[in-house]
Amino acid sequence: MTRDEFRAGMRRLAILFGFLVIAAIVVSGGFILFGANMRSGTSAGFGVVGVLLVFGGAAASTRGQSLRRVGDRIVVQDREERRSSTLLSGGLLALGVVFCAASLEIV
């Protein structure tokens, strides 16, 4: 991995993290709007986003099989595709754990 690829990846990660924080704030706002107090609503919002990320990471890990079906034929994934799938699932799981931990800290 070159330095430019690393920087591009970190830039995409920062954008994804910002989007997820905004999504957690929107979900928290919904909880607060429907009667929860500020702390529990914020905690619930971050928890919901964290759980969705953990489920997404688990789903992405099952997608990383070495054989897949494309139309009528079976294709073997190359090393880069397997690596990409593993990194995606690990990243989603890690972000999910961070958001779940943040929801526990807020309470």
pLDDT (tens, 9 = 90+) of the chain, 107 residues, equals 788 888 988 898 889 889 999 999 999 999 999 988 999 999 999 999 999 999 988 888 877 667 777 888 888 878 887 888 888 888 899 999 999 999 998 76
> What span, in angstroms and rounded, lies between the C-alpha atoms of 72 and 64?
19
| Nearest of 105, 91, 103, 107 to residue 24 by alpha carbon | 103
Over the range 65-94, which residues count as b (16 or more CB within 10 Å of their CB) and which as e? eeeeeeeeeeeeeeeeeeeebeebbebbbe
pLDDT of residue 65: 66
pLDDT of residue 64: 60
Q: Which domain holds residue 75?
A: 3-106
| 3-state class (DSSP) for residue 9 | helix
Q: Number of structural domains, the chain?
A: 1
| 3-state class (DSSP) for residue 69 | strand
> What span, in angstroms and rounded, lies between the C-alpha atoms of 35 and 72?
53
